[in-house]
Each structure stands twice: as structure tokens, then as C-alpha cells.
């Protein structure tokens, strides 16, 4: 049975890559033959991307972009967890703060960028702050919901063992809420990428977002596509990294499906 199954898996994987390669080829051939003003060939886009990665742009745009995103994301997640877990634990607090938090989550984060620009100026700190702001809400709301749903037996066990409130939060509520917090952090990762690019499109003079927008305005078409390819690649890398970390951190959870997660 096993070898046959594996052979099928390989065939499926091959099919996926084949389709992807076919589409890229189609792009290349179509763009080369149609010679459209607004469409560069795949090859030119890859060249432009390569220039981003190897030229001076690497130190001026690419790495700062990624650094700001990581900083904002980490800060946002930390703030979301630091507020969300205690608020969820103090069950009575939730109805008071819920509407305000839901509003903040519903507010499309790009909207606050002009205000942040005005208050904090067009600098790195502002961009990091906006990214952190956008990331914190989904993490916070997931942390609240998850902590509220922690099995009371676990909390009581902690109390019986004379753990202080902080110890209960850190050693019981936080780990038990981690699976759902990770769901929030996954949403936040997408938001961080969006805000990284967006914060560089308005009131910025460097960064990948700035590069692709100015390239578009100057009709440097291959640079536009190359920049998007690179941003997609960065997004893909972070998604893979995130899944890897989630698997490692939540290994205990997957090992006992039907344990904690069952009550929800």
C-alpha cells in the first residue's frame, strides 16, 4: 500500500509544480509577444527582483522593510498577549471593554497611517508603531476569547497549588490559550505584511512599498513586478517560518487533540 500512496503523492506534487511552471511560461510568452506597456515579462521581473536583492537596494529598502515588519509584529503580538490574557482571565472585565476593542479591530489599520504620520513623523518608529497597532488587535481578541475558555479545573488546580495570579496567568492560562493565540498571530502576520508595504507607500522615501509605488509612477514596469515578486517571496518565507514555529510551540497540543481543545 505505502509505496503506491507515495507515488501518488509525488505525482500530485509534480502536477502542482507543472501547473505553476506552465502559468509562468504563459506569462513569459504572452508578455513577450503582446509587448504591452503595463506588463513586463517574467524574466525581466526576476531580473529586477535580483537587482533589488543584490544591489544597494538590499541595505536601503529590503532589509529595513523586513526589520520594521518583524519589530512591529513582535511588539504587536506581545502587547496583544500581555493585555488579552489578563483581560480574558478577569472574566468580568470583558463586557466592559469588548465594544471598544472590537471597534479598534474593525478599524482598517491603514486609516490611522496619516494620523500617525502627523503625530510621530515619517520615521522608522512611526512605521513600527503602525504595524504593532494593527497586529495587536487580532492577537488580543483571540487571547481574550481563549483565556476565557480555559478549563476552570486547570485554574483551580493552580490555585490549590498556591500559585499567585501572575504564575497562573503565565504557567496555566497562557499555555492553554496558545493554540487560539496562534490563530490570531497568523491573522496578524498578514496584517503586518500589508502595513509594512502600506506604511512605505504613504509619506516614505525608502522601503519596498516606496520602491514599487514610485516605479509604477515612473513607469518602470519590470521593477513594479519584481518588487511585488520579492514582497510575495518575503511573505511566503514568513508564512513558512510561522507554520514551523507554530508546529514546534504547539507540538504538545497536537499530541493531545481532544484534550484541552475539546471544551471549545
In the bound complex, what is the minimum distance in angstroms from residue 21's beta carbon to another protein? 9
Closer by beta carbon to another protein, 171 or else 186: 186
Contact pick of 50, 58, 121, 236 for another protein (by CB under 8 A): 236
Collapsed DSSP state (helix, strand, coil) of residue 203: coil
**CA 233, chain centre distance (Å):** 13
Q: Does 46 bind another protein (CB under 8 A)?
A: no
Q: Does 48 bind another protein (CB under 8 A)?
A: no
Give the cell for residue 117: 504620520
Interatomic CA distance for residues 42 and 25, integer angstroms? 8
Helix axes 124-148, 63-89, angle to 10 degrees: 30
Interatomic CA distance for residues 227 and 233, integer angstroms? 10
Find out whether 220 and 135 touch, Cβ atoms under 8 Å. no
Contact pick of 67, 125, 152, 232 for another protein (by CB under 8 A): 232
Interatomic CA distance for residues 147 and 86, integer angstroms? 8
Interatomic CA distance for residues 24 and 43, integer angstroms? 9
Q: Does 119 bind another protein (CB under 8 A)?
A: yes
Interatomic CA distance for residues 160 and 176, integer angstroms? 18
Find out whether 235 and 66 touch, Cβ atoms under 8 Å. no
Find out whether 226 and 51 touch, Cβ atoms under 8 Å. yes
Contact pick of 66, 149, 154, 250 for another protein (by CB under 8 A): 149
Contact pick of 107, 167, 241, 245 for another protein (by CB under 8 A): 107
Closer by beta carbon to another protein, 99 or else 160: 99
Contact flags string 199-218 toward another protein, x per CB under 8 A: --xx-----xx--xx-xx--
In the bound complex, what is the minimum distance in angstroms from residue 164's beta carbon to another protein? 26
In the bound complex, what is the minimum distance in angstroms from residue 157's beta carbon to another protein? 20
Q: Does 53 bind another protein (CB under 8 A)?
A: no
Q: Which residues bind another protein (CB under 8 A)?
A: 11-13, 15-17, 19-20, 23, 38-39, 95-100, 102-115, 118-119, 145, 148-149, 187, 190, 193-194, 196-198, 201-202, 208-209, 212-213, 215-216, 221, 224-225, 227-228, 231-232, 235-236, 238-239, 264
Amino acid at each position: 500500500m505505502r509505496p503506491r500512496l507515495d507515488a501518488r503523492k509525488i505525482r500530485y506534487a509534480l502536477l502542482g509544480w507543472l501547473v505553476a511552471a506552465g502559468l509562468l511560461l504563459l506569462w513569459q510568452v504572452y508578455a513577450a509577444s503582446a509587448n504591452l506597456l503595463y506588463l513586463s515579462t517574467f524574466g525581466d521581473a526576476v531580473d529586477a527582483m535580483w537587482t533589488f536583492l543584490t544591489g544597494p537596494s538590499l541595505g536601503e529598502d529590503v532589509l529595513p522593510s523586513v526589520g520594521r515588519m518583524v519589530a512591529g509584529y513582535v511588539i504587536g503580538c506581545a502587547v496583544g498577549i500581555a493585555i488579552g490574557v489578563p483581560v480574558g482571565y478577569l472574566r468580568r472585565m470583558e463586557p466592559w471593554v469588548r465594544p471598544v476593542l472590537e471597534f479598534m479591530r474593525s478599524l482598517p489599520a491603514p486609516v490611522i497611517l496619516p494620523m500617525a504620520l502627523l503625530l510621530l513623523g515619517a520615521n522608522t518608529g512611526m512605521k513600527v508603531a503602525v504595524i504593532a497597532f494593527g497586529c495587536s488587535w487580532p492577537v488580543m481578541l483571540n487571547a481574550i476569547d481563549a483565556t476565557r475558555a480555559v478549563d476552570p479545573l486547570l485554574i483551580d488546580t493552580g490555585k490549590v497549588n498556591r500559585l499567585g495570579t501572575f504564575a497562573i496567568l503565565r504557567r496555566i492560562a497562557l499555555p492553554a490559550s496558545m493554540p487560539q493565540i496562534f490563530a490570531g498571530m497568523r491573522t496578524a502576520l498578514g496584517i503586518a505584511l500589508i502595513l509594512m508595504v502600506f506604511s512605505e507607500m504613504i509619506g516614505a522615501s525608502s522601503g519596498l512599498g516606496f520602491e514599487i509605488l514610485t516605479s509604477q509612477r515612473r513607469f518602470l514596469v519590470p521593477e513594479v513586478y519584481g518588487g511585488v515578486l520579492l514582497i510575495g517571496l518575503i511573505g511566503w518565507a514568513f508564512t513558512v517560518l510561522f507554520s514551523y514555529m507554530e508546529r514546534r510551540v504547539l507540538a504538545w497540543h497536537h499530541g493531545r487533540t481532544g484534550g484541552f481543545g475539546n471544551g471549545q
